[in-house]
Structure 1
Amino acid sequence: MTRTLMITGANRGLGHAIAARFVTEGWRVAMLNRTPGGPGTALDIRCDLRDPAQLADAFHRALEHLGRLDVCVANAAVRTFDSVTHMTAEAWDDAVAVNLSGAFRLAQLAIPVLRDSNGHLVFVGSQAATHPFEGGGAYCATKAALKALHEVIVLENGESGMRCSLLSAGAIRNRPMANDGWKIRPDHVAQVLWDIVGLEAGAFVGEVEVRPTRPLPAPVTGIARLQTL
């Protein structure tokens, strides 16, 4: 039986690396992307997570294509960096809508299906949830709330057979930027996720952190703090 994966935000970076890894392993993959992209053999469905109706429609289309759901990965996120005093209301609302509400609504849709399949829900979090930095008010707050949401889902589904994991990484080399040589390669994080979902059903990883082997030398400020952990 071919196993199946549904993932959000797989058009580039970590999401693309995750989708590509599962495709390589022979899984059937469906991606929910605001911007098209991803491995060519995976189903690519245009979806803006800020729109609940669009998300529900995309989820059911992806599920119909997959036939069943073994692993669902909530990966999509927006990163808006600005001080609390200068951040616009629109930027804050956008971060909450994608990083938190989008993950929440995806979980609502996926959990009943994953209970039936004894499947695995994975939230892609961030070390920003526990290591805040200047300019990261929206990003840090939404990732911290996602961490709490994950814990609640674990408690509520302890006897269902469904597993739920939180994968939190430091700075990932998602796009060309400064300090790339110090950041974690997306395929390395994808490997960790692959290992997590590959555990036998009698155990699961509740939460795991992925850190760079060579931390950026201090002193640093802003998001670069995630490269010093």
Structure 2
Amino acid sequence: MNNEKVALIFGGARGIGAAIAARLAREGYRIAVTWVSRPDRAETLVTSVKNAGGQALAIRADSADPAAIQSAVDATLHHYGRLDIAVVNAGVLRLGRIEDFQLDDLDATLAVNVRGVFLSVQAAVKRMTDGGRIITIGSNTAVRTGHAGSSVYAMSKAAVAAMVQNLALDLASRRITINNIQPGPIATDMTAAMVEQITAQIPLQRIGQPEEIASLATWLASEESGYMTGASLTIDGGFVL
């Protein structure tokens, strides 16, 4: 069991982040999750973990705000006294063709999906136990063609993949590994209205489940993954378009 280890999940109140948090809690990790717009989801998750005998903490933190990111790390350390795992799941999806794409949407995407990822990793590793784990949640759009209007989102996720590959070199001396999960279409609030359309583009003929991403994240958080770092792992049912 991992009952001494602490995992902080940025963007952990719902969807993939919540599935990762719940799975890590079942594996014995003490968890902290950040939320920005759904306190009810965060509290439901925390209550569920506690009712099952685990430890959980919800922290309001906008990943577009550097001070909030730092505060989330500080709150986790204050509550638990250590930090072993950081999962950077927070992200935004702004779509639009280049002729119409708004500067505010470009700035918002980069602020959360690129700058927010870098700052979350930076804040976490400064306080992380040597031998810890960093896991980012990217997207298969970094390596697959998505659809018209997704260029800015894809760009941001490709940036995360490149960042992870190189941050692995910065962190190797402390035996901290960093890896990037690149999910394809997953059954979340974001995809609820498009399941049939999306499924037609997936060779396995089904949409992925958040728990499948959580399973991979749990392995990356474990001691068993200690020789993997700087990798981007695509999990998308063979998505093609």
TM-score (norm: length of structure 1): 0.87
Query: Are 1:68 and 1:117, in contact at CA under 8 Å, matched by a contact in 2?
Result: no
**1:71 alignment counterpart:** 85
Query: Are 2:130 and 2:174, in contact at CA under 8 Å, matched by a contact in 1?
Result: no
Gaps of 5+ in 2: 51-55, 200-205
**2:224 alignment counterpart:** 200
Distance in 1 of aligned mates of 2:138 and 2:17? 12
Counterpart residue type for residue 193 of structure 1: A
Distance in 2 of aligned mates of 1:145 and 1:51? 19
**1:219 alignment counterpart:** none
Distance in 2 of aligned mates of 1:201 and 1:23? 18
* RMSD between aligned residues: 1.8
Question: 1:6-17 maps to which residues of 2 (within 5 A)?
Answer: 6-17=8-19
Q: Which of 9, 33, 36 is residue 35 of structure 2 equivalent to?
A: 33
- State whether structure 2 residue 167 is matched by structure 1 residue 153: yes
Cα deviation code 1:46-71 (max 9, x no counterpart)? 11111111221222112211211111
Counterpart residue type for residue 179 of structure 1: V
Distance in 2 of aligned mates of 1:200 and 1:192? 12
SS at match of 2:134: strand
Query: Are 1:30 and 1:66, in contact at CA under 8 Å, matched by a contact in 2?
Result: no
Cα deviation code 1:155-181 (max 9, x no counterpart)? 122222111111111111112222266
Percent identity between the two aligned chains: 28
Distance in 1 of aligned mates of 2:174 and 2:181? 21
Query: Are 2:219 and 2:225, in contact at CA under 8 Å, matched by a contact in 1?
Result: no
Distance in 2 of aligned mates of 1:12 and 1:20? 10
Cα deviation code 1:78-130 (max 9, x no counterpart)? 1111111111111111111111111110111111223x331001111111112
- State whether structure 2 residue 74 is matched by structure 1 residue 48: no
Query: Are 2:177 and 2:226, in contact at CA under 8 Å, matched by a contact in 1?
Result: no
SS at match of 2:9: strand
Query: Are 2:11 and 2:33, in contact at CA under 8 Å, matched by a contact in 1?
Result: yes
Question: 1:144-223 maps to which residues of 2 (within 5 A)?
Answer: 144-175=158-189, 176-179=192-195, 182-200=206-224, 202-205=226-229, 206-212=231-237
Gaps of 5+ in 1: 216-226
CA shift, 1:201, in A, is 6.7
- State whether structure 2 residue 126 is matched by structure 1 residue 124: no
Query: Are 1:4 and 1:68, in contact at CA under 8 Å, matched by a contact in 2?
Result: yes
Quickly say closer, same or farther: Cα 1:194–1:202, change in 2 above 3 A. Answer: closer
TM-score (norm: length of structure 2): 0.83
How many equivalent pairs are there?
215
- Higher fraction of helix: 2
Counterpart residue type for residue 211 of structure 1: D
Cα deviation code 1:182-201 (max 9, x no counterpart)? 31100011011111222337
Distance in 2 of aligned mates of 1:200 and 1:26? 16
Distance in 2 of aligned mates of 1:92 and 1:100? 11
CA shift, 1:202, in A, is 4.5
Query: Are 2:7 and 2:30, in contact at CA under 8 Å, matched by a contact in 1?
Result: yes
SS at match of 1:48: coil
**1:218 alignment counterpart:** none
Query: Are 1:69 and 1:117, in contact at CA under 8 Å, matched by a contact in 2?
Result: no
- Between 1:117-126 and 1:203-212, the stretch displaced more is 203-212
